[in-house]
Structure 1
């Protein structure tokens, strides 16, 4: 019974520690915001789409050409998009010599097919929105210029340009949610800290009162 009363008194006294609870929540929110804003590197994605038409069956001089099936065109197109020739042109035309390299840019580019269509996505991932979109457009444009020289087709069309701003990173999209979770976590931790502080204070007061009572009894006995 005494323990229950003690806990109830501690819960009532938590109001005195409201500043501690709120301070802990604010610290938690601030720590998460600093981590997301200055520690975690955001990633943005921008996509340009290219339509690759059917390859001609016969050249102008009458030479028959072997048919390329879908997987073959996919593999050839992917190789061209991320080929050193295309990437070197992208870096030079965009003035990225001091910012990136062919190897780094190669890893930033993904080439994929849209379903069963002849539409292909050139997706660039980067830490800068506008730059990712500009690179996606540049890669698509240069691919359209270079592809006819390297594979059996001349029907390439840029059907969708990357937007001015690439899509936001998942971290940025969920920033408010992350800060909310951090605030809730801070409130819980702050409440626990306040509870512990109040419990220690109550125990300390109880022990002090016991010692005081014992001392008074001894003084009464020796009078």
Structure 2
């Protein structure tokens, strides 16, 4: 019963203050539109892929399933090395970037699927061309350095990041922002409207008397001024 009354009260608030709710939703969507399209900086993403494929070990030859198993165990180590200052510092030197390895690390995401020998390197930047250069340079530097660091040569560049003629930013998600703004605006408007309705104890209609005072309405006093006007109109017509 309480739940039903709550739903009924919300429906009543929605009908009574629909214009207020609509205006607040429009305001929220407008703010989200302004921020998403004119304030937030577009972020682009470039991706390159490495294939971890065993070639040779120092003083040891492994074949078949043993090679694959060894490569899979090394992938977690590679994911850490790729984002280490040893690799990123050389990437910064090659591209002459004005940033520290720690700053560059925040733009990089390294991942690999379970039981997969493919390592994905994703780089995000405000400039799409710069993101592509960073991703490809990381792959090249890592391939060159891994034989020195691990005494193993099992890295091949599987996929090279490329520039797009019409790059699409991955951030911000403008449509998602607008949807979230609409839902948030509606929720906030409903809360405020329900609060205003709760603190408003003025009696405007006979229904308000029944709801607030829990008393039945047995009669209504008509507006005397309106009755006077009606009588005057009748007399003029006769």
For the residue of structure 1 that corresponds to 2:109, the secondary structure is: strand
For the residue of structure 1 that corresponds to 2:204, the secondary structure is: helix
CA contact (8 A) 1:47 1:133 kept: yes
Equivalent-residue separation in structure 1 for 2:196 and 2:158 (angstroms): 61
Residue 218 of structure 1: aligned partner: none
The unaligned stretches of length 5 or more in structure 1 are 1-10, 59-63, 207-212, 214-223
CA contact (8 A) 1:113 1:120 kept: yes
Equivalent-residue separation in structure 2 for 1:55 and 1:170 (angstroms): 42
1:65 matches 2:60: yes
Equivalent-residue separation in structure 1 for 2:183 and 2:60 (angstroms): 61
CA contact (8 A) 2:90 2:141 kept: yes
Equivalent-residue separation in structure 2 for 1:122 and 1:172 (angstroms): 25
The 3 A distance-change label for structure 1 pair 51 and 78 is same
The 3 A distance-change label for structure 1 pair 110 and 25 is closer
For the residue of structure 2 that corresponds to 1:202, the secondary structure is: coil
Residue 204 of structure 2: aligned partner: 202
CA contact (8 A) 1:82 1:106 kept: yes
1:81 matches 2:76: no
The structure, 1 or 2, with the larger RCO (C-alpha pairs under 8 Å, 6+ apart) is 1
Q: Which has the higher helix share?
A: 1
RMSD, matched Cα? 4.3
Shift of 1:183: 4.4
TM-score by length of 2: 0.56
* Count of equivalent residues: 187
Shift of 1:87: 0.8
The 3 A distance-change label for structure 1 pair 119 and 18 is closer
180-189 vs 83-92, which deviates more?
180-189
Shift of 1:139: 0.9
1:152 matches 2:151: yes
Equivalent-residue separation in structure 1 for 2:200 and 2:55 (angstroms): 79
The unaligned stretches of length 5 or more in structure 2 are 1-11, 210-220, 222-238
TM-score by length of 1: 0.59
Equivalent-residue separation in structure 2 for 1:135 and 1:202 (angstroms): 68
Residue 184 of structure 1: aligned partner: 186
Shift of 1:202: 3.1
